[in-house]
Amino acid sequence: MKDKATVCVIDDDEIFQFITKKSFERLHRNDDLLFFQNGEDALTYMKGALTGDNPKPDVIFLDINMPIMDGWDFLNELQKLNQTNAALPNIYMVSSSIDDKDLIKSKSFPIITDYIVKPIKDVNIKEILNGLN
Protein backbone atom coordinates (compact mmCIF):
# COMPACT_ATOMS: atom_id res chain seq x y z
CA MET A 1 0.00 0.00 0.00
CA LYS A 2 1.20 3.44 -0.89
CA ASP A 3 1.51 5.79 2.10
CA LYS A 4 0.52 8.80 0.06
CA ALA A 5 -1.47 8.81 -3.16
CA THR A 6 -2.45 11.51 -5.60
CA VAL A 7 -6.20 11.30 -6.12
CA CYS A 8 -8.28 13.23 -8.67
CA VAL A 9 -11.97 13.70 -7.99
CA ILE A 10 -13.68 14.84 -11.17
CA ASP A 11 -17.24 15.74 -10.22
CA ASP A 12 -19.30 18.92 -10.33
CA ASP A 13 -21.26 17.97 -7.19
CA GLU A 14 -19.77 19.98 -4.34
CA ILE A 15 -21.51 17.81 -1.74
CA PHE A 16 -19.89 14.69 -3.20
CA GLN A 17 -16.53 16.45 -3.18
CA PHE A 18 -17.00 17.45 0.47
CA ILE A 19 -18.07 13.93 1.50
CA THR A 20 -15.10 12.41 -0.34
CA LYS A 21 -12.69 14.81 1.38
CA LYS A 22 -14.19 13.90 4.77
CA SER A 23 -13.82 10.18 3.98
CA PHE A 24 -10.10 10.63 3.40
CA GLU A 25 -9.82 12.58 6.66
CA ARG A 26 -11.62 9.79 8.58
CA LEU A 27 -9.15 7.30 7.11
CA HIS A 28 -6.30 9.45 8.48
CA ARG A 29 -4.65 9.61 5.08
CA ASN A 30 -2.25 12.28 3.94
CA ASP A 31 -3.08 11.98 0.25
CA ASP A 32 -2.99 14.78 -2.28
CA LEU A 33 -6.60 15.36 -3.31
CA LEU A 34 -7.23 17.27 -6.53
CA PHE A 35 -10.79 18.38 -7.28
CA PHE A 36 -12.10 19.28 -10.73
CA GLN A 37 -15.59 20.54 -11.57
CA ASN A 38 -15.60 19.14 -15.11
CA GLY A 39 -13.75 16.85 -17.45
CA GLU A 40 -12.16 19.65 -19.44
CA ASP A 41 -10.26 21.06 -16.46
CA ALA A 42 -9.20 17.54 -15.45
CA LEU A 43 -8.06 16.78 -18.99
CA THR A 44 -5.89 19.90 -18.97
CA TYR A 45 -4.31 18.62 -15.76
CA MET A 46 -3.84 15.15 -17.25
CA LYS A 47 -2.06 16.58 -20.29
CA GLY A 48 0.51 17.97 -17.87
CA ALA A 49 0.63 14.69 -15.94
CA LEU A 50 1.37 12.70 -19.10
CA THR A 51 4.22 15.06 -20.02
CA GLY A 52 5.62 15.09 -16.48
CA ASP A 53 4.66 18.71 -15.73
CA ASN A 54 2.06 17.68 -13.11
CA PRO A 55 2.12 14.83 -10.61
CA LYS A 56 0.48 11.81 -12.17
CA PRO A 57 -2.57 10.71 -10.19
CA ASP A 58 -2.72 7.20 -8.79
CA VAL A 59 -6.51 7.16 -8.75
CA ILE A 60 -9.25 9.06 -10.55
CA PHE A 61 -12.85 9.14 -9.33
CA LEU A 62 -14.83 10.22 -12.39
CA ASP A 63 -18.47 11.30 -12.53
CA ILE A 64 -20.52 10.72 -15.67
CA ASN A 65 -22.77 13.78 -15.85
CA MET A 66 -20.95 17.11 -15.66
CA PRO A 67 -21.11 20.43 -17.50
CA ILE A 68 -18.62 21.43 -20.21
CA MET A 69 -17.15 17.90 -20.63
CA ASP A 70 -18.80 14.80 -19.19
CA GLY A 71 -17.05 11.66 -17.98
CA TRP A 72 -17.45 9.76 -21.25
CA ASP A 73 -15.90 12.61 -23.26
CA PHE A 74 -13.08 12.86 -20.72
CA LEU A 75 -12.31 9.15 -21.17
CA ASN A 76 -12.35 9.42 -24.97
CA GLU A 77 -10.02 12.41 -24.92
CA LEU A 78 -7.70 10.81 -22.35
CA GLN A 79 -7.34 7.73 -24.55
CA LYS A 80 -6.49 9.96 -27.53
CA LEU A 81 -3.89 11.83 -25.45
CA ASN A 82 -2.22 8.65 -24.31
CA GLN A 83 -0.63 7.80 -27.64
CA THR A 84 2.47 6.41 -25.95
CA ASN A 85 0.35 3.93 -23.97
CA ALA A 86 1.79 5.20 -20.71
CA ALA A 87 0.38 3.57 -17.59
CA LEU A 88 -2.76 5.46 -16.66
CA PRO A 89 -4.13 5.87 -13.15
CA ASN A 90 -6.81 3.54 -11.83
CA ILE A 91 -10.05 5.13 -13.00
CA TYR A 92 -13.26 4.54 -11.09
CA MET A 93 -16.46 5.69 -12.74
CA VAL A 94 -18.56 7.13 -9.92
CA SER A 95 -22.19 7.94 -10.51
CA SER A 96 -25.56 8.15 -8.86
CA SER A 97 -26.91 6.48 -11.99
CA ILE A 98 -28.14 2.92 -11.52
CA ASP A 99 -28.97 2.68 -15.22
CA ASP A 100 -27.59 -0.58 -16.62
CA LYS A 101 -26.66 1.29 -19.83
CA ASP A 102 -24.05 3.32 -17.92
CA LEU A 103 -22.59 0.22 -16.31
CA ILE A 104 -22.43 -1.59 -19.66
CA LYS A 105 -20.90 1.46 -21.35
CA SER A 106 -18.27 1.71 -18.62
CA LYS A 107 -17.19 -1.86 -19.41
CA SER A 108 -16.48 -0.80 -23.00
CA PHE A 109 -13.59 1.35 -21.72
CA PRO A 110 -10.64 -0.87 -20.80
CA ILE A 111 -9.11 2.03 -18.87
CA ILE A 112 -11.95 1.97 -16.31
CA THR A 113 -11.02 -0.10 -13.27
CA ASP A 114 -14.53 -0.27 -11.80
CA TYR A 115 -17.96 1.37 -11.60
CA ILE A 116 -19.09 2.60 -8.18
CA VAL A 117 -22.56 3.87 -7.32
CA LYS A 118 -22.46 7.01 -5.16
CA PRO A 119 -21.80 7.62 -2.39
CA ILE A 120 -18.38 6.00 -2.08
CA LYS A 121 -18.05 4.35 1.29
CA ASP A 122 -14.90 4.75 3.40
CA VAL A 123 -14.30 1.01 3.11
CA ASN A 124 -14.30 1.30 -0.71
CA ILE A 125 -11.74 4.07 -0.61
CA LYS A 126 -9.59 2.09 1.82
CA GLU A 127 -9.71 -0.99 -0.43
CA ILE A 128 -8.80 1.07 -3.49
CA LEU A 129 -5.86 2.74 -1.76
CA ASN A 130 -4.68 -0.56 -0.26
CA GLY A 131 -4.45 -1.95 -3.79
CA LEU A 132 -1.96 0.72 -4.90
CA ASN A 133 1.72 -0.17 -5.16
In a domain, 45, yes or no: yes
In a domain, 32, yes or no: yes
Q: pLDDT-based confidence at 7, cuts 50/70/90?
A: very high
pLDDT digits 0-9 by tens, 9-52:
999 999 999 999 999 999 988 899 999 999 999 999 999 998 88
Which range of residues forms the domain containing residue 69?
A: 6-130
In a domain, 105, yes or no: yes
pTM of the model: 0.92
CATH of residue 31's domain is 3.40.50.2300
In a domain, 33, yes or no: yes
pLDDT at residue 8, as a whole number: 97
Q: Which residues contact 123 (CB under 8 A, 6 or more apart)?
A: none
CA 94 from centroid of its chain's CA atoms: 8
In a domain, 1, yes or no: no
In a domain, 24, yes or no: yes
- Number of structural domains, the chain? 1
pLDDT at residue 87, as a whole number: 80
Per residue, what are the HEC states of the chain? Answer: CCCCCEEEEECCCHHHHHHHHHHHHHCCCCCEEEEECCHHHHHHHHHHHHHCCCCCCCEEEEECCCCCCCHHHHHHHHHHHCCCCCCCCEEEEEECCCCHHHHHHHHCCCCEEEEEECCCCHHHHHHHHHCCC
pLDDT digits 0-9 by tens, 68-116:
999 999 999 998 887 766 788 999 999 887 778 988 889 889 899 999 9
Q: pLDDT-based confidence at 132, cuts 50/70/90?
A: confident
